[in-house]
Chains A and B, each alone.
Chain A
Amino acid sequence: MEKIDIIESTAILVPVDNIDTDQIIPARFLKTTSREGFGEKLFYDWRFKADGTPVAGHPLEGQKGVILVAGNNFGCGSSREHAAWALHDAGIRAVVSSSFADIFRNNALNNCLLPVQVTEEYLARLTTVLKTAPGTVVRIDLGAQTLSVPGVGEAGFGINGYKKECLMKGYSDIDYLLADKDSILRYEATHRN
């Protein structure tokens, strides 16, 4: 699995609260049985009209980078991991918000997409700087658990030690669980549910 250490890039700013996973990837694109190709469908209905023509001035227009900065409560709604796949496939490696929906957070972590949670106050200042200076470079250091942006300053973010190690070394949860099947068999022998 891919590893995460330092992520440094210009940011894509989408300052909208409560971006749900139906916006990230609409349900009609979930019919495929593969994990590939969802990047093209990212925020599709914000980018394209019903007839497929582009929406002028949509929230992502003209922005480049591997870090997405969004409003509060990112990834709420449906559990579809396709949302994390779409972001990752589109090149995004970290999402910065003041809160993440629980299922999205897990899905992101399982796909080398780092959820970086900062305070509302920090997010507000970051948003202002990115609006006035769109090319500002954002630096995320997973080892130090910091986010630093010129003109905004540094913020720390939380992640548990286990998950941090997984991301930095490229380990996955399923490998951990498969390696520890004996514990599971022992549990089953003493519990009937």
Chain B
Amino acid sequence: MGKTLFDKIWESHVVKHIPDGPDVLYIDRHLVHEVTSPQAFSALKAKGLKVFRPEKTFATCDHNVPTLGQDRPIADESSRKAVEQLAVNTAENSIMYFPLGDPGNGIVHVVGPEQGIVLCGQTVVCGDSHTATHGAFGNIAFGIGTSEVEMVMAVQCLLQSKPRQARITVNGKLAVNVTPKDVILYIISRLGTDGCTGHFVEYAGEVFRDMSMEGRMTVCNMSIEMGAKGGIVAPDETTFRYIKGRRFAPSGEAFDASVAKWKTLKTDSDAVFDKEYEFDAADIRPMVTYGTNPGMGVPVDGVIPDSAAGCDEATFDKAMAYMGFRRGEQMAGKKIDYVFVGSCTNGRIEDFRVFAKAVNGRKKADDVIVWLVPGSKEVEAKIESEGIGDALRAAGFEIRQPGCSACLAMNADKIPAGKYAVSTSNRNFEGRQGYGARTILAGPLVAAEAAVTGRIGVPSVI
């Protein structure tokens, strides 16, 4: 029987197998941020240890940072202390750190690929569930808890049981107003928020082959929202082109040698998956969520259904009450209060290009507050150098500074209770964007439509 891409990478990283137990898995890249690392650094220190392989460890601050006035000290005392602690911990352990304001700073999952830290065929972990993003490059990438962060720091390994595997194939061509975010929201709405729990997912087929790296990252990023351990796309020329010339990526002959190796990273034609799903690109329309988990999604021109996959009636009722919606209502035409464009899901340059193009000379709606938050300093710089910033400011928008921002509202960017926010982030859980905030997840095109009309609507085709 043939092997999957996942099998091949996993097997090459097994240090040893524990009988009736997990594998000791070697980790190639450890990404670190300020929220899930301090307790790991202090536990390590208490054991008299330092980070074992600091050259494989990279850190940035993102969750606690303000998106305005980053040149000033962080006003919130606990946020400031968390960020300061990361600077101390990384310095003590000789770890590469991108502090606030540094040209390399940004959201950990935007920075990793952008800096060429994350390559192909690697094991990548971070104390953050959206680590799944890095599977877009053909990596086994998954989120871990702080105890596991400590293990990777101590020995560059983790104890992990090999997950089951699923393949999701989407063939055909996407309509012009359908973005990668719509593709993944569609898949999650079909499979449910726990549809792939215990599985690692490979995304295959024409739709993912045709996608940019930014698009593949958006898709893989949300693998966790259907319970998957991670998602992976086989690397190809699109992948290699993206990596070439990036700061920490191999260059010259070393790059060519790497590409030759990366080209072998494919699932064998006779490999067998535990689960297989197939979808048709023609069935995918622009999507929004209507409930309180990412599986509760419908096409923008659809109605709120009577039930959702993996959600009993009481839980569905609770979600409707929280959102202030009713079964059978149309999503299109609903009035919204906020729009947030950003996060590790849709905070990359391609997302701002798409948003700006969709605004297309129109003005921001007067009664909508819009937060445009670049995923990194590099994205911020490109927004300006490509003229997107000037165009959007002329249309009444404000470009903020990089960070996780309203995705999880750990900083000041909170959606007020009861208000509706169209958000390009990844989670619509109760209170995720602020106490009582009502989140409607969408892609950048739907977000642009909401930002200029103040309502949910099908994005116009440009």
Given known pairs A71-B315, A180-B24, the reply for A33 and B229 (CB within 8 Å) is no
In Å, the complex CA distance between A33 and B410 comes to 14
Q: Does A128 contact B (CB under 8 A)?
A: no
Q: Are A103 and B21 in contact (CB under 8 A)?
A: no
Which residues of chain B are within 8 angstroms of A27 by Cβ–Cβ distance? 63, 408-410, 432
Docked CA distance A35–B35 (Å)? 12
Kindly identify which residue among A101, A172, A193 contacts B13, using a CB–CB cutoff of 8 Å. Answer: A193
Residues on A with beta carbons closer than 8 Å to the beta carbon of B318: 16
CB of B429 within 8 A of CB of A20, answer: yes
A-contact bits for B183-223, CB 8 A (1 contact / 0 none): 00000000001100110000000000000000000000000
Q: Once bound together, how far apart are the Cα atoms of A16 and B314, in whole Å?
A: 7
A161 / chain B contacts, CB cutoff of 8 Å: 19-21
The chain A residue with its CB closest to the CB of B426 is A77
Closest to A110 in B: B147
CB contacts under 8 Å to A, within B258-313, are 293, 310-312
- In the bound assembly, the distance between CA atoms of A177 and B312 in angstroms comes to 41
Binds B, one of A3-11, A138-146, A147-155, A181-189: A181-189
The reply to whether B193 and A18 contact each other, CB–CB distance below 8 Å, is yes
Q: A31-B82, A77-B129 are in contact. Are A160 and B430 (CB under 8 A)?
A: no
Counting contact residues on chain A (CB < 8 A from B), the size range is 35 or more
Pick the contact of A162: B21, B76, B78, B128 (CB < 8 A). B21
Q: B15, A184: Cβ atoms under 8 Å?
A: yes
Residues of chain B with a CB closer than 8 A to A78's CB: 128-129, 408, 427
Asked if B91 lies at the interface with its beta carbon under 8 angstroms from chain A, I say: no
Contacting B38 at CB < 8 Å: which of A16, A33, A106? A33
> Is A101 within 8 A of B197, CB to CB?
yes
Find out whether the CB atom of B26 lies under 8 angstroms from the CB atom of A187.
yes
- B375 located at the interface, meaning its Cβ lies under 8 Å from any Cβ of chain A in the complex: no
Residue A136 CB within 8 A of the other chain: no
B54 within 8 A of A: no
The answer to whether A30 has its CB under 8 Å from any CB of chain B is yes
Which residues in B have their C-beta under 8 angstroms from that of A50? 417, 435-436
Which label, helix, strand, loop or mixed, suits the secondary structure of the B interface?
loop
Q: Are A76 and B227 in contact (CB under 8 A)?
A: yes
Whether B194 contacts A45 by the Cβ 8 Å rule is no
Give the residue of A15, A77, A160 whose beta carbon is less than 8 angstroms from that of B427.
Answer: A77
**Cβ-based interface call for B360 (8 A):** no
> Across the two chains, which residue of chain A brings its CB closest to B200?
A102
B314 contacts across to A, CB distance below 8 A: 15-16
A27-B408, A187-B26 given as contacts; is B154 within 8 A of A177 (CB)?
Answer: yes
A12–B197 CA distance with the chains assembled, in angstroms: 25
User: What residues of B have a CB within 8 angstroms of the CB of A174 in the complex?
Assistant: 147, 150-151, 154
In the assembled complex, the CB of A127 is this many whole angstroms from the nearest CB of chain B, namely 10
Nearest-neighbour CB distance to chain B for A72, whole angstroms, equals 7
Determine how close the nearest CB of chain A comes to the CB of B340; give it in whole angstroms: 15
B116-129 interface mask toward A, CB cutoff 8 Å, 1 = contact, 0 = none? 00000111000111
Q: In whole Å, how far is B30's beta carbon from the nearest beta carbon of chain A?
A: 12
Partner of B26, one of A26, A34, A107, A191: A191
Q: List 7 A-B contacts (CB under 8 A).
A: A20-B429, A22-B432, A27-B409, A31-B78, A78-B427, A99-B194, A178-B155
Extra A-B contacts (20), CB below 8 Å, given A28-B410, A50-B436, A162-B20: A16-B314, A18-B310, A22-B427, A23-B430, A27-B408, A33-B85, A35-B39, A45-B435, A50-B435, A72-B194, A72-B310, A73-B194, A78-B129, A80-B35, A80-B36, A110-B145, A183-B16, A187-B15, A191-B26, A193-B123
6 smallest A-B Cβ distances: which pairs? A162-B21, A161-B20, A33-B38, A81-B145, A31-B78, A107-B145
